[in-house]
Amino acid sequence: QVQLVESGGGSVQAGGSLRLSCAASGFTYSTYCMGWFRQAPGKEREGVATIDSAGSTSYADSVKGRFTISQDNAKNTLYLQINSLKDEDTAMYYCAARAFTYRPRQCPTMSAIYGYWGQGTQVTVSS
């Protein structure tokens, strides 16, 4: 059984930093994409960063240069380093995962593609 558990969210002032973690268990595929998504109240869930099993990353334009996705395979943990936080980064942040038969050219950012989800961790930015 696959389980994804996020942690690290909180309330921070604009300009601050946070590191989100996503501990994965039962996800033992060799070819996969994992990603961080966020959903603000009244808005659709959006993909902010993805990483594949080879370590290739991609980012939404709105977070490039501020967010860094990484993974520690030994710890089965996905991370999202968030710097220079802005008010508009306030959202529930989710990690997601999907296994693939073949490595995609780029991990998809459509949330519907991903079959495994964590429960989310709240990030609130105040100015």
Q: Are the C-beta atoms of 13 and 77 separated by less than 8 Å?
A: no
| Confidence at 59, pLDDT banded by 50, 70, 90 | very high
Task: Tell me the DSSP string of 68-115.
Answer: EEEEETTTTEEEEEE-S--GGG-EEEEEEEEE-SS--SS----GGG--
Given a cut of 90, whether residue 127 has pLDDT beyond it is no
Mean pLDDT of 7-23: 98
